[in-house]
Structure 1
Amino acid sequence: MKRLKRDKRAVSNAIVVMLSLVLVVIIVANVVLWSYQMNQLDWEKMQEDVKITDVARAGEAWSYNASGYAPSGSTNLVSGSVSNLTSNDGVYMVFRSYASATNTNNIVTNGNVTTATDWTYTDISDPSAVVSGNYSSTVYQSASYSLYIQLVDDSANLAYTGSGKQYQAMATVSTLPTSATLYFYYRIDCGGTSASAEVANATVTITKPDTSTVTVFTTSVTFAALTTGSWIYQTINVSSVFTATGTYTLDLRGYFSTTTAKKPTLTVYYDDVWLNIVTPSEYTNEVEFTGSSNTESWMQLVWTVDSAWTISSVNVTLQLFNYTLGDYPTSENGYIAYTSGDTPNTDETKNQTITVNPTDFGDATGYWRMKIKGVKATDTQFDFKVDWIEFKVVTDSGTLFTFENAGSLTSHVVSLWIINSTNHRRYDANLFINSGEEATYIRADIRLPSTPFIAKVVTERGNMAVFARS
């Protein structure tokens, strides 16, 4: 029995030793495995290299075109409609300029007849040689002379008819006038021995460059007695006469007829003759375009005009109405000024990107206004050809993160932070970035604060990447 008890105790001791050895082996194995795993994690963490390359607002673009127009001044629509402004396709809406500044010139030389020069007398019809014409130094409206045409009837047995004219070729008209006005004084006298039914006529004509003649004034007086006439002033619109460039001739005429035995002297006088033509010295083309858009929160506005001019070197201003100012700006945002190119009918595209308060350029309903004006000092009328007008807004649709994984392992971004001076906010994330690749990540629920701010991300392995925007 004693021997059996000793054997049992030995077996028990052996079991204890064996169990102890097993436990030691297990513990050592776990320590080794844990150490290996930790070394593996440390190695993977060291291999991970994620960078944030950019953090910016994510935007959605909305494009709009003009839906209405209103010419300013005397600008006229020549052809086309706003439907032609939706694309840059060479199909135009065309507007014609108007004279916005003018010069007024008198094209009559020595019209005041201050000297006995510059006018020429000739008979129109004088079969009896009783009609003549010259300068009068005794009868005039203003010093020192007047022009006259006269018939002297000194026969007691005959009646006469006759006519003559004072004329001059006026200054050459090189630009068609926008208006023309003739001014003059005339006077008709009946002198001599006596009068019964003596007729004198004053007529003014203008001969055009094509040699056609236009009568712009005529009046007749029948005298029953000797009469000293009065000076009468005339203002006559002769704009319709000037239909071509070239030289025009002004005729101041007198027509006469007398009765037998009265022996009258009939005289037609002219003085202070002016013919003012108004010619353009500047042309302007101005149109306001209107349109609608959305009422979202705009983070950017890009407005574009593609157009051409039928003359070179036009001073052009493009303006976008600022509803906060209540007016069209004259500098910076909403304002573009340039001189068109040297080659007429060449399309030029102008645009401007507005990122500061872009919503200033639309009203509460999304309505917008754009004014285009071209001005040139010239006597030549020109056209404005507009091909494309675009009003493009970009709305705030969240935040766009751009990442680069320069490491050798796939990275898993699990959280991110947006930090500025007043806010420190964490967001959950779930983004895998393959090794050697770039990735973009849009978060519609994140609105970036004003700069400066910091963006920070953390990967599943515990690595961190930071991006700062100043």
Structure 2
Amino acid sequence: MGYSWTKLIQDEFGRKGAKQSFALALIVMMFAGVFAFILPSLAAADSWTDTITENFALGTHENTENVDNNVRLENIGVGIYYTQGRFTSQAFDAGQVVDNWDNILWSVTLPTLTKYENDNVGVEPTTLVDGSLRIGTVVGGSLLDIRDSDGVYDNIAENDVGGVTSTSYYPSGYNLVGSTTYVSGSVSDLASNNGVYMILRSYDTSQAGENTYPVNEYFDDVSDWSTTYAPIQGTPTYGQDTGSGVPAPSYYHTATSTAAKAANIVFETDNSFSYTAGTPTSASLKWSYSLGGNSIDTSGNELSVRLVKPGSTEVILDSVALTGATSWTSRELSIGVDNFNENGIYTLRLYSHLVAGAKGATKYVQSWWDNIILRIETPPTSQYTVSVEFTGASNTASWSQLEWNVDSAWTTGSVDLLLQLWNYELGRYSQSGEDGYISYTSSATANTDELKTQTITTSPTNFRDASGNWKLKVTGVKNTSTQFDLKADLVEFKPTWQLVDYALRWGHRIENVATDFDNYIVKVRGYTSGDGENVGVYLWKSSTSSWEFIDNLDNIGPKTVTKFIAGSSISDYLVGDNLCIKYEDWDNTDDNQTTLHIDLCIVEQQGFFETGIKLQVRVSADGTTWTENLGPSGTSSDYFVSQSGQNVVSLENIPDNRYIQYIAYSSSEDSTITPVLHEVTINYTPRPPTKPVLYLPENGSQISDNTPYFEWTAGAGATYHRLQIDNDSNFSSPIYDNSNLGGNENSIEIENELPPDNYWWRVAAGNVRGENWSENTWTFEVLEVINHAPTAPSSPWCEGATNPTGVIDLTPEFSAIYEDPDAEDQAIYYEIEVNTQSDFLGTSMWDTGKTSMSPLTAGNRSADVGYAGDPLSLDGYQYFWRIRFWDDDNAQGAWSATQNFTMKDETPPSVPTDLSVVTKAGAEGTLVITWTAPPEGDVQGYQLWFSTDNITFTLESDQAGTTYTDTGLTDGSTYYYKVSAYDEVPNYSDNCAVVSGVPVDDLAPSVPTDLSVVTKAGAEGTLVITWTAPTEGDLQGYKL
């Protein structure tokens, strides 16, 4: 039977210290009844291995076999194996008696067999083993559904265990109102009622007063409206007004509308509305009188109006008094919320309904009044005010009530206070009579802490925004000439809500668990739904009376969690013969219900069966007479025992001989499994190698090759060879010394050039034991060789291409192929020139000069060289370059052909000028847009932009010309245009200034057609004229 060998060298300590090995890849076929030792002959290598591509039936199988290049117990049925077997390897020849056997390495797979028995859940206890009650409800399935992982679930939902809760929130920021100033403290001092204050200082809001009523002057600095009466000022003017059914003339009276002037307004005692000082406030009235045939004496008219707080619904007419004859049937004066806007303007309307009774007419007139100044007489006052807005954040729960508290003290007594919450539903601060509003006068004793509290049960969530933010304003006013401070001690925002707190605690009890298995695996498979909450799986450990966490089930999808218990430890977990499982969620205070879905809950009980392989070796001096089978001790009484995977054991007690063989014993505790042996390697240390024999160049020869070829006969047992060359016969300082030649290598062409001279050479064979030099030293002479200069480089590249354009790299790279008639020459220098002219007489941008490089043989491309000269311009400029090389004899080569590269243009054209937009004559809905081209010669086109509002522009046209006609427009509407230019890159200019135009209809309709004139049937003196309308859509009428 044939076989072959493949050389394997294993360098463990480097070339000179290499230990040798041979690997026995045990991929053998059954050798029925034959036991043979086939000894391979000694070759140059000192390590051997079987190869998987050859015949491996060189060992002996006893109840074993080779399958897929592995040794295993023999299969004697369908999946049934012998439980004992032995494989004896072929004999391996080290070539000579070794100095010593080092170690044996082998790789095995030792499968085990696990037999399983499952125990299932028998009950879901209402009281868990730790005494706690279960929480949850079965909403589908049962414990019978969790015996197999089949997608059928026992479904347990969380129960609601929540209650009522409240949380206090405190300000996180503040805003000073008016000229209120900060003194000390911070919002962190407002979180407890402890006498630690945030202090704010009042500012002067004194008012000069107003008690005269000049016409057409101004109020300003109005800070509050009060329930105060004042007459309407103004001198009537008269004019003509007519209406349907109203006799002329009608007279009307108007007072001029103005912005309001400074006035002191007496506050209402509850300070129910705060009006920002300086906001213009005015009201207006137009009063019309209608004559009905009788004269009306207006000299005694009196009109008084009660002003109301902005935002209220109060509308009051105090009196309207007239003297003299009248035919008016009704009069009405109103003022209210509908007449007040956010700019602080009041509108007063007088509705005067009349009937022209003297004439018996039935028509009436309703007149409107605008623009009259309201005057309010107020006394002068001295006054100081503090106003501050506190802001904070809360939550977004469904509140059942809101309690808010403010504790403050004042450095003066009897301050009129207003506390207001911002009502986000109304978009304003709360007002008198509403929740979120507290007004009072502080203690007459300065520096007295007073706590004000209010509980809101109607729509408490109106006082936060969608993110839970809130704000609260404190305003204090006192008529005094002495400045005072607000000492804020507590600002508390405390909502109450009903917690929806879902929780889960559930149990399964696995019953009738035996204690005689090797291993136990608790398996639970399931997932959660409803929210992203995890549910923990726990196992009761009776030895510590505690729950042991296994893993979480989550909402990602079905997941199996496991707990391994060694057979020796199962009693630590048993309660009687039961295992207790608990499921508990991590967050028992969330308001989203979670449902636990359990697909499987079992304990898997495992029994194990093992396999094994153990080895022995034997050695021989002649391959015929062998020692006993030996173990690590060097005797037959022990074995090299395997662990699964890689194994290594010393062979120091095995006798040194030339031949070695190993025996592998396989065993299994179950006939359905088999161990597998993959590979065996035996490492050894050889004896010193034999001397090499020199062959070429012959002794005394003359050669012209200055990198000569050397050949010799390899030394037996060598792991490496060493070649030395010197121009001195004693080799005192060799000019070439190479010890990196393999143990089987017997030739080399040296890489170093030898100058013309006489040389001596020799070779040593070496291994871990040392070096053995060749018997003789030979000589040779290197003759002088004529060198030729390199020729012009071929295929010059810039940026990997010939004459590239659009280069954007400001440091482009250059290369070329080195050409030299002397094939053995190498380029060792280069020079690159870059110039603005092709004759290289322009501006020199870069000249590398003669620059060293890595040696390059002829016919190969040089490494890329990056540009490092003067800065290049990205303006479309063209540059010229060339390259040349020097060989390793320093001969200068010819320049390459002149090359070029063109940089990318990044300069945009200038902005187009003279943009014109005019209507097109003889057309409708049409504008003609023209502009003047930029002076640059590389303009490729224009982008015209269009807008109807001079804000949002869209691209109307991308074109080459400077004229564009825009049609389909609406006559009389304004359209806006701007234009930019671009070049071939393209680079885009800025847009020119916007120019607008209005199209004018300059196109008459076409002539009507089909004019027809006929006598009307059944009528006298009557003609019927008809025609067909023109097609234009803007036709308005005809002239007949």
TM-score by length of 2: 0.16
Structure number with the bigger relative contact order (C-alpha 8 A, sep ≥ 6) is: 1
Q: Please state which structure has a larger fraction of its residues in strand.
A: 1
Structure whose CA Rg is larger: 2
Q: Give TM-score, length-normalised by structure 1.
A: 0.35
More helix by share: 1
